[in-house]
Structure 1
Amino acid sequence: MQEFDKVFIRLSKDKQSLTVGDFDMIRPSDYFLNYYKRTQGALYEGGFQTARGDQIITTAGLASSRGIYTRQNLAVTEGNQGPYKLTGNNGELFIIVLAGTERIWIDGKLLTRGAENDYVIDYNAGEITFTPKQLINKDKRVQIEFEYSDKSYFRSVVTSNTSWTNPNEKTTYRLHVYSEQDSKNQPLDLTLDSAARAAMVAAGDDPAQAFIPGIDTAGFSTDRILYRLTDSLGYDSVFVYSTDPELAMYALSFTELGTNKGNYILSSTLANGRVYKWIAPVAGVPQGTAEPVILLRTPISRRMITIAADHKTGDHGTIGAEAAFTQNDLNTFSDAGNDDNTGLGTHVYYNHKTNLSDGKILEAGLDYEYITRDFQFIERYRPVEFNRDWNLQTTDKQPEHYAAAGISLSDSSGNRFQAGTSLYARETAYTGFRQSVNWTQYFHRWKLLAGSSLVNASDDSTSTTFLRPDLTFSRSFAKMNGLEAGFRYWAEHNRFSSADSLRSGAFYFDEYQAFIRTPDTSASQFYTEAIVRHDGLPEAGVFKRVNEGFTWNMGGNLPSGRNRLNWLLTWRTLDVLDTTLSQQQDESALLGRLQYGYTTRKGWLTSDIFYELGTGQEPKREYTFVEVEPGQGNYTWFDYNNDGLQQLDEFEVAIYADQATYIQVFLPTSEYIQANVSQFNYVLNLQPRAVWSDVQGIRDVIARFSLVSSMQLSRKVLDDGSFLSYAPVGTVADTQLVSSNAYWQSTLYFNRTNTRFGAEYTFLQTEGKVVLINGPETRDLTRQNITIRWKITDPLVLSTGISSGLKSLESIAFSGRSYRTPFVSLEPKITYINGAQYRISLSYLYKSTQNESGAESLDSHTGLLDLRYNVPGNSTVSSRISYTLADFNGVADSPVGFALLEGLQDGQNILWNLQFDKRLSQVLQMTLSYDGRKTGSADIVHTGRVQMRAIF
């Protein structure tokens, strides 16, 4: 939904426009300046033409930024498709990714979002999962850039981009300005007292040192996690979780610092919030991961100004230059370290294109770039794998030089030859030379793709050689509709040597691929390929083979008429040949997806099947409940044990709006369980009337029936070495089942579209198991329902519903919440309908249920009157009143009692409602509502609400 969270107004006239509201700031056509920002503010765009014909195009923006840019290398594991947790610049686990800002590369290739493409992402949880189209293994290099929400300070962004083109002189001048800064005197989610400001002043340009104690002396409160101060094992000032009103007086804020960097660890309790416990150091080394400190985010300021010019030399050449000035302050509170805030960058280039007499095209180019030691980009401007291309192992700041020259010769048949040479130097820290060549050649039905890259580099103590050959040859067969078969070999040989001896960091791999595939223009697609990979690492100064991997891929689609078939399948094995050099273990992984759709000739039967399998992981969930304004939440709190303290098993889904005073907030964790994943979806629609529209006898009876059925199954199962762990159905031991979600609903209709008489039978089954830090929780529901309707006269409709089923909850951590309750219900109803103007219905509901796991039982009788008056296109008035007589046996103030009573009380219960809906305009609606209730012996509760809704 975040992608649609854009509200703006745009005014335009001729070539001028002004946008106010939500918009994206996108990079100009610069070499150094690169950015993509989600913002709120104002953006001006305009174009002018001078008297002599010069073209001037300018944009200017002033806005507040909605997020912070970050870039990270994602550490992936063999055969694990995810989800993988994204983190913030300071290691924050709880981040919200701004929708659409992410860019993800695997091995330098940009991926496409979507369940049918390469990956899916949960923006709110900050988790990414790769689809079966992208097999994840130890060899994949995954890089991610994205923006995430940050509310520490008000952050403003100012941009100005102007280009001036002189058509006669064939010259374009560009001036671009980008400025982004936090307002240090306008903190949003931070409270900056004198101690916090002093800590940031002292931290200088090292934000990791901006800590303040996370200890606050507070009075005792039942809705906070509090600690007492004590001594333990000879250590003083140890904080221990406490609910003692006399001793619990400290509220602590913890920061996760990493393994062996703190003296506290997360403890598993039933308290409504995270509780940390102290763990004693061993030999002076901390054994925990957290400390009661707060890491402050220092306010930053970033600017870049670029000046550039491009000039066309004749009809085929272009020469250009660009200069960039940068200013980057990591902490505007402190002057310490400001001597490295500014930097300069320059770039010059020349490109030339020549059309030769034989129809070939010759292209040549030169590039040179220089940046000073303290040059800082806004967002990455070099290729995503630039450092790897140059075999760069160090990223400490140095002045940098980059120079490149290249030549290309191509023809209209697609043949091309490219060669290039380049230099990259980081003052005295690194000097590298790179040569590359690429050749594409077609010989009748043969195709050759050949390329190679060689980097020779050195620093003070090490010399490196990085060779990457890549060779593919294939042949297409005209008699087989262009089917292509081929072979590919590519490799990387990376040598780090010192004194003629291989050093750690050196590696090599060789990959061999054989493939068969149909051409892209074919209506039906098919491909299959097999890949073998050998990996080597240095031992005793020489390379030794340590791993061997095998991957088999197959896929395609057959969009033939009424049948639609898409499939892909991947099988991957990894064999470890030397366990002393490799940290891997023997692994195997299976990925696949099948989509099949079928429609009969007249459409009387349609079905769709989706099946996906793979290997991933399930995060252990942890949550807390946070109090909000009445009516703004989803949960309510009942102090079942009367201790005045909030426990996780005391929160229930609110039945009434005035009780909805808490929201459930999931807390990020770093604990995952690896498991095999399967998902199965099925939809069936049966309509015999489509072929028997005008028949008599038994066929007419059959044609009156119709069936709609849908099924959604997904689960994660611990790998037991068998294919059954990938199956979405079947019996699995509770110890093997990590998580599951199942939904199955089938409805059989009789006379579905007949207005006089009809009936339907519905079967519904849902199952769900989630993994929580405190243990798994499983919820199941099975229900059968029969509904019969009969139109007695034109205004009167009689209907009867009969239901039976079973509802259950099993919680390992909260055993008091577990129940298993079969139920039956009967609901006759009579409805009076006067066209579209008003409707009156009177119904009676009998319900009986009993907890098989305990002694609780409920028999209830409910009478309900519904009134609705409608003025089409204008307003609606509706009213409802119900009376329920509940006979409940058991403890009402308990989780099981709440589940059975559903907000009512033993005895008499009266609920009433009055609501008025009014359309004020085409885009504005107003709702006035009043609710009242008298449940059991409780006082009468009155609730009124006013709601305005804008529809865009």
Structure 2
Amino acid sequence: MKKTFCIFLVLLGFSLHAQKGSKNFRAKTIHVVSDTIRVDTVSISPYHFKVFNQSKQLIDTLRYTVDFANAILVIDKEEYPVITIEYTALPAFLTKVYARFDKKLIVPKATDLSRLYSVRKSTKKNAFIPFDGLKTSGNISRGLTVGNNQDAVVNSNLDLQISGNLSKNVKIRASITDTNVPLQENGFTQRLDEFDRVFIELFSNNWSIKAGDINFENTEDYFMRFRKKVAGVSLNATIDNEESNIKFFASGAIVRGQFARNNFVGQEGNQGPYKITGTTDERFILLISGSETVYVNGVPLQRGENNDYTIDYNTAELTFTPTFPVTANMRISVEYQFSERNFTRFVTYNGAKYTTDKLTLGIGFYNENDAKNQPLQQSLSNSQQEILSLAGDDISQMVVPSAFPEAFEENKILYKKEFQNGIETFVFSNNPNDELFNVKFTFVGAHNGNYKIQTTVATGRIYEYIAPVNGIAQGSYEPIVQLVAPNKLQIAVLTADYSPNTKTNINSEVAYSVNDLNLFSSLDDGDNQGFAGKVNWRQTLLQKSWQLESKLNYEFVSTDFKTIERFRTVEFFRDWDLVNPLGDQQLLIASLAYSHPKKGIISYQFDKLNFSKNFNGNKHNFLAEVTLGKTLLKAKGSFLTSSSETDKTQFSRWYSTVNHHFTKSWIGGKLNFESNERTDKSTRTIADISHRFLEYEGYVGVGDTTKVYLEIGYNYRVTDSLQGAKLQQVNTANTYFLRSKLVQRKTADLSLFINYRTVANKNFNDEESLNSRISYRQQLFNNAVSLQTVYETSSGSLPQQEFNYVQVETGLGFYTWNDYNNNGIQELDEFEIAQFQDEANYVRVLLPTINFIKTDQNKVSQSLTINMSNFKNKKGFKKLLSHFTNQSFLLIDSKKERVGGTFNFDPFTISNDALALNMNLKNSLFYNRGRQHYSTTYTYLKSRIKTAFSVGDQEGNLTSHQLAFSHKIGKFWLVDMKGIVSENKSESQNFSSRNFLLDSYEVNPKLSYLYTNNSRFEIEYAFKNKENKDIGLETLQQHKLGANFIYARNRKFSINSALNFIQNNFEGTLNSSVSYQMLEGLQPGTNFTWNLTLQKKITSYLDININYLGRKSETSKAIHTGTIQLRASF
């Protein structure tokens, strides 16, 4: 190791003697984040300008454009993510603009009188305007809600964007979004500020400082690559000299997430969702949004419904789109950050870089450290800290019992101790006379625990003990807590890059790490420190139309060296067939590449990898990408031989494609092959992980893939695995696919994707899968008819969701709890969607699940708009048609249990055996839409929603017919009439109290007197009749009489008030789910509701809003709720 370290010191010393070149000649390496790049602040010479790719190959001038006068380069950022630019900067005096007068003082046509010079002192008072001179958008609001049925609640919202100049040389850019939100509906979060997005940045030409939610990122250093979303501050500064450039950066922050990686194999025909877990297999994690990168077979994917995958950050579930079919041959790797709050964790990242024409020196320091005396989610007792101090780095020793005594409390899950077969166990109890314990159960894996989930209630899960059978545990949970020890990671990196000329480059990097996995313990600290280094040499041997380039790279990584994130390729272990390598790593790479900017590249590379204790491997790599006329040939192959103390391996791979393009079509094929034979040295038998496959693919296409095209193809794969001590065929797969964009016009689009796959398995049942998508958009008759249709089929899985309800501040929730059976226990069937703000104090939280059901999914969405207003200038029948508009929307998303190889192509036939269903149909027919002259609207609505929960299926059905009429009589009277007929059905598999069938109709006339253009008075009457046709036979006749007054003046002041008298004639069982639905949260008999809303614009940017709500029934006191809010808009 000392010898290796000396080599690096010599190389670094050699780099320090680099000579400086011309002061106007410059070279820059740029990570391309935008297609448009500002190369320099002065003009550049067109006679010396070169752009090199990441491999230091010269990029053809046809691949980019340059504006030399303004020093702007335009290049494809996707094709060239990293480039190096060599250029000569012109002297500043050649391009500097000289003027006798300051152009900023010239007032065009004297329209801006405030800028004209005057001998008199201005008497005009300047009004205060926040952020004057800056570009701003957004708003700030602060509100207070009080009431006699709730505690005071403070509401705040901040959504502000700022940009502009603070002074001549200092600019500002800020984005501040801070919303006080509770736990998410249909998901969860761990803290209210998980959704904050706040940053403020001040910058000039030579420095910048940014504070708030920022991204720490380093993609340049080999051993210190990372990307983190943090909350902190960063500072960057640059010192430019004629012959050199020095950059400094310093940053510090509180870490929001921890890096983790999940590796798993796809399931045949299963598009997901796939559950993502934490570093210790935690299933209850929150992903940091946008932090993930998903790889399949080493290739990164793109997120989005129209791309490769979607991800639910709340439930940590990954789902692939139908256009990216998943097979059992796919190796899926997900790298992400998840919210981890065990300790307050600080991170600092500092460094500097010195650059000349030929030499670049850099230094960087990274420190990530837990504050061990500032625990967050876990409160460590003295005894638990003692356990951690004795555990060293052994996680299995960081386990403690979770039970602790706690007094009885209603709606809290507590346990008592009981002995079963001589074993002390925990048994659920709600008896206040028992000695009770609060117990947390941890999932430890199937047949590794002695407890299982007994039932799920509104406040959580109840566990029960299950005795072992023949000494084998029957449960999956244990009453233990896994303690998390505070840790520390520090890395220092020193880099050097020297280019004596354009043909030679030498760069090196040395890194040192300190990784302490347990700051409470000094045990096992002997492996905390590690060292790594590398040196790369690149030499261009021939530089003509064809370029010959050689490379020689060497890396050394000690056993105990640790990095922040992965620095190897995502499939490095598989590429080298590594199982459990131990010892110091040494990697030697030698390559020779022969390339042409237009005709392609041919290269050979030799790799040698050694782990000092148990691995030594040699790998030969071949790469060819050659264009021969209209034929493109790509081939990539490798052959690996390796050995360890126990076995040896021969691993060969070949991937090749050939495409030939005709004038308007193309034809191509692929040949992929892998053979991995790992042999035990002592027994000479083949290891279980050995495998082999051979894959053929052919395809033909016509058109232009960037516009209109059609491609069809066929793929055949044979997979061999270890069977009877030798590699034998285990399955064959046939895949037929079609990709197309059949129509692409301004008024129409049509695309079709189909992927059908069959797998013939030797030892178990054959498998079939089908993924398809049809997308169609059409505008007809000068946009009078607009149609959009999307149809999809796929296979996946459906989680059997568990949930509970969590109490939040009043008004910030979605649900309310009604104790229907008066037992004081919160039960799952006692929560309803709140009808009033002062009752909304619960949210539903989905719990992680391990139970998934295989499904076939069928989805269709369609929207149709017919607008005949284009005929308004016609006569006769067309004139009549111009009064009509029709809008239709249909969504059917159905999931059925996958049985055999059958597929359901008909989305319109909805069977009762669907596991999950979301069907929504809405059609609205308008006459004189948007007018007040016989304006009529008929709306038909039909919805059916079915959800699979662990407590049983729940289904809701709604059918509604609504007719609305509006007509203005003279100047002052407006008549509105609305009628609704509906049927609402609810079915719950295990909660019979939630089963009902409501038939209802409603008549609602309203008369408005338009006193002025700014004010109106309304009086309305509504009659509702509801009957429950299911068990209970509840009935309701509701009479409502209301009066409203509305006044608005020039958007500066408005008032809206309403008073309603409601008479509920109800017959049936009260205090039930169906009665709450029918009465809409009110009580039988006489009810009053009222509200008053005031809005006042105080200044041009400041508003005040006052909202007062109230209600009163015969059996309850008056309930008052008031909110006052101040809002500043920019």
Q: TM-score, structure 1 length as denominator?
A: 0.95
Aligned to 1:275: 462
Q: Secondary structure at the match of 2:449?
A: coil
- Tell me what 2:963 maps to: 786
Cα 1:604–1:262, aligned 2, differ >3 Å: closer, same or farther?
Answer: same
- Partner deviation per Cα, 1:687-741 (whole Å, 9 max, x = no partner): 1222x22222222222211101111111101234576634322031x3x311011
Query: For residue 614 of structure 1, what is the aligned residue in structure 2?
Result: 794
Contact 2:363 / 2:492 at 8 angstroms: preserved in 1? yes
Q: Relative to structure 1, is the Cα distance of residues 162 and 663 closer, same or farther in structure 2, using a 3 angstrom cutoff?
A: same
* Alignment correspondent of 1:237: 424
What is the deviation of 1:8? 1.3
Instruction: Tell me the equivalent position of 2:115.
Output: none
Aligned to 1:163: 353
Mapped to 2, the partners of 1:40 and 1:592 lie a distance apart of 42
Aligned residue among 709, 716, 729 for 1:525: 709
Does structure 2 conserve the Cα–Cα contact (< 8 Å) formed by 1:780 and 1:809? Answer: yes
Cα–Cα, structure 1 residues 950 and 18, in superposed 2: closer, same or farther, change >3 Å?
farther
Q: 1:916: Cα distance to partner? A: 2.8
Q: Distance in 2 between matches of 1:622 and 1:948?
A: 40
- Confirm whether residue 681 of structure 1 aligns to residue 861 of structure 2: yes
Give the letter aligned to residue 674 of structure 2: E
- Of structures 1 and 2, the one with the larger relative CO (CA 8 A, separation 6+) is 2
Indicate the residue corresponding to 2:403 in structure 1: 215
CA distance in 1, matches of 2:973, 2:671: 77
The 3-state SS of whatever aligns with 1:197 is helix
Q: CA deviation at 1:646?
A: 1.3
Are the counterparts in 2 of residues 717 and 726 from structure 1 also a CA contact under 8 Å? no
Deviation digits for residues 68-93 of structure 1 (CA, Å, limit 9, x no counterpart) = 11011034211100011111112111
**CA distance 1:521–1:638, shift in 2 (3 Å):** closer
| Residue matched to 1:729 | 908
1:385 lines up with 2:571 in the alignment: yes
Q: Deviations over 1:434-457 (max 9, x none)?
A: 001112333333333233100100
Deviates more, 1:559-568 or 1:103-112: 559-568
Counterpart in the other structure of 1:415: 600
Alignment size in residue pairs: 935
What's the counterpart of residue 56 of structure 2? none
Specify the alignment match of 2:919 in structure 1. Answer: 742
SS in 2 for 1:725: coil
Q: d(CA) in 2 for partners of 1:704 and 1:353?
A: 75
SS in 1 for 2:1077: helix
Q: Tell me, yes or no, if the aligned pair for 2:457 and 2:804 is still in contact at 8 Å.
A: no
Aligned partners of 1:573 and 1:921: how far apart in 2?
Answer: 69
Residue of structure 2 equivalent to 1:440: 625
Partner of 2:202: 11
Letter in 1 for 2:892: L
Q: Alpha-carbon deviation of 1:354?
A: 4.4
Q: Does 1:185 align with 2:185?
A: no
Comparing 518-527 with 256-265, greater Cα deviation is found at: 518-527
| Contact 2:456–2:802 under 8 Å retained in 1 | no
| Counterpart Cα distance in 1 of 2:921 and 2:1028 | 24
Distance (whole Å) between structure 2 residues aligned to residue 254 and residue 840 of structure 1: 61
Letter of the aligned partner of 2:496 in structure 1?
A
Deviation of 1:921 after TM superposition, in Å, equals 6.7
Distance 2:876 2:484 in 1: 78
Identity %: 29
Q: Which amino acid aligns with 1:826?
A: V
**Cα distance change of structure 1 residues 704 and 30 upon mapping to structure 2, 3 Å threshold:** same
Q: How far did residue 570 of structure 1 move? A: 0.3
Residues 269 and 327 in structure 2, CA contact (< 8 A), matched pair in contact too: yes
| Equivalent residue, structure 1, for 2:935 | 758
Q: Structure 1 residue 290 and structure 2 residue 290: aligned?
A: no
In structure 2, give the amino acid aligned to 1:60: A
Q: Is 1:323 aligned with 2:502? A: no
SS in 1 for 2:567: coil
Q: In the aligned structure 1, how far is the partner of 2:903 from the partner of 2:637?
A: 45
> Structure 2 CA distance, aligned partners of 1:185 and 1:925?
45
1:239-258 to structure 2, matched below 5 A, reads: 239-247=426-434, 249-258=436-445
CA RMSD, 1 decimal: 2.0
1:21 aligns with 212
Q: Which residue, out of 856, 880, 884, partners 1:701?
A: 880
Which residue type is aligned with residue 402 of structure 2? Answer: G
Report what 1:544 is aligned to. 728
User: Measured at CA, do residues 410 and 777 of structure 1 come closer, stay the same or move farther in structure 2, by a change above 3 Å?
Assistant: same
Aligned to 2:76: none
Corresponding position of 1:374:
560
Distance, in Å, in 1 between the alignment partners of 2:573 and 2:589 is 16
Equivalent position of 2:719 in the other structure: 535
Partners of 1:544 and 1:612 lie apart in 2 by 37
Decide whether aligned partners of structure 1 residues 545 and 257 sit closer, same or farther in structure 2, where only a CA change above 3 A counts.
same
| Pair 1:916–1:152, CA change in 2 (3 A) | farther
Contact 1:555–1:567, Cα closer than 8 Å, also in 2: yes
Which residue type is aligned with residue 526 of structure 1? L
Q: Shift of the alpha carbon at 1:3? A: 11
Show CA shifts across 1:83-126 (max 9, x none).
Answer: 11111112111111111100000011100000000000111111
1:49 to 240, 265, 271: 240
SS in 2 for 1:202: helix
Match of 1:715 among 894, 897, 904: 894
Report the 3-state secondary structure (helix = DSSP H, G, I; strand = E; otherwise coil) of the residue aligned with 1:910.
strand
8 Å CA contact 2:309–2:318 kept in 1: the answer is yes
Contact map agreement 1:268 1:773 (CA 8 A) in 2: no
Match of 1:436, as an amino acid? N
Counterpart residue number, 1:338:
525
- After superposition, residues 528-607 of structure 1 pair within 5 angstroms as 528-557=712-741, 558-577=743-762, 579=763, 585-607=765-787
AA at the equivalent of 2:627: Y
What's the CA shift for 1:948? 4.9
Q: In the TM superposition, what whole-angstrom CA distance separates every residue of 1:238-275 from its partner, at most 9, and x where no partner exists?
A: 21112223226222111111112211001125453201
Distance of 2:226 and 2:1103 partners within structure 1: 39
Deviation at 1:920, TM superposition (A): 6.1
Which aligned pairs between 1:798-817 and structure 2 lie closer than 5 A?
Answer: 798-817=975-994
Q: What SS is found at the alignment partner of 1:163?
A: strand
Partners of 2:567 and 2:929 lie apart in 1 by 61
Q: Structure 1 CA distance, aligned partners of 2:1034 and 2:1102?
A: 48
Distance 1:140 1:205 in 2: 34
Does structure 1 conserve the Cα–Cα contact (< 8 Å) formed by 2:1106 and 2:1125?
yes
In the other structure, the counterpart of 2:998 is 821
Counterpart code for 1:682: Q
Secondary structure of the residue that 2:904 maps to in structure 1?
A: helix
User: What does residue range 92-111 of structure 1 map to in structure 2 within 5 Å?
Assistant: 92-111=282-301
What do the CA deviations read for 1:900-938 (whole angstroms, capped 9, x no partner)? 111110000111122333456777654332222112311
Q: Secondary structure at the match of 1:381?
A: coil
| CA distance, structure 1, for counterparts of residue 1125 and residue 815 of structure 2 | 21
Please give the residue correspondences for 1:344-359 in structure 2 after superposition, counting only pairs within 5 Å: 344-357=531-544, 359=545
- Residues of 2 paired with 1:205 and 1:820: CA distance? 61
What's the secondary structure of 2:1074's corresponding residue? helix
| In 2, Cα distance between equivalents of 1:901 and 1:521 | 59
Contact 1:3 1:99 in 2 (8 A): no
**Residue 370 of structure 1 aligns to which amino acid in structure 2?**
F
Confirm whether residue 206 of structure 1 aligns to residue 389 of structure 2: no
Normalising by structure 2, report the TM-score.
0.80
AA matched with 2:335: E
Q: CA separation in 2, counterparts of 1:928 and 1:211?
A: 54
Query: Which range moved further: 939-948 or 509-518?
Result: 939-948
Q: Secondary structure at the match of 2:829?
A: helix
The one-letter code sitting in structure 2 at the alignment partner of 1:13 is S
State the one-letter code of the partner of 1:542.
Answer: K
Letter in 2 for 1:377: T
Secondary structure of the residue that 2:1117 maps to in structure 1?
coil
Q: Which residue of 1 aligns with 2:1072?
A: 894
In structure 2, distance between residues paired with 1:836 and 1:56: 67
Is the contact between residue 527 and residue 554 of structure 1 (CA under 8 Å) also seen in structure 2? yes
SS at match of 1:884: strand
Q: Displacement, 1:661?
A: 2.0
The answer to whether the 8 Å contact 2:1041/2:1060 transfers is yes
Separation in structure 2 between the aligned mates of residue 286 and residue 117 of structure 1, nearest angstrom: 44
Name the SS of the counterpart of 1:501 in structure 2: coil
